Amino acid sequence: MVTNQRRCLSCRRIAPKEEFWRVVRLYPEHQVQLDQGMGRSAYLCPNASCLAVAQKKIAWVDRSRRPFPISYTNS
C-alpha cells in the first residue's frame, strides 16, 4: 500500500504525512491553526527551524496578496 506523501513547506523534505504538522488557514477569518479545520493547509516538519522559516514564508505571502499603493511620478 502506498502512503500519502507530503512536502515540508520549509525544508522541502518529502515524507509520509503522519510525520508532519498540518497547518491550516481557516476561511474567512484567515486564522492559522495546527491540525484542525478545513481550509488552505501546508505541512511542516515538527521542529523549531522549519517553523521559523515557515513563519517568514507565510508572512511574505500575506503581504504579497494584499494590494499596495503604487506611485509613479513622471519626471
> What is the domain partition of the chain in residue ranges?
5-61
Question: What is the C-alpha to C-alpha distance for residues 37 and 53, in angstroms, rounded to an integer?
Answer: 23
CA 30 to the chain's CA centroid? 12
Nearest-CA neighbor of 55 among 9, 12, 7, 4? 9
What pLDDT digit, counting tens, does each position of 33-73 carry? 888 877 778 899 998 898 888 888 776 566 656 554 444 44
- For residue 26, the model assigns a pLDDT of 77
Question: What is the C-alpha to C-alpha distance for residues 27 and 15, in angstroms, rounded to an integer?
Answer: 27
Q: Can you give the pTM of this predicted structure?
A: 0.68
Give the cell for residue 25. 488557514
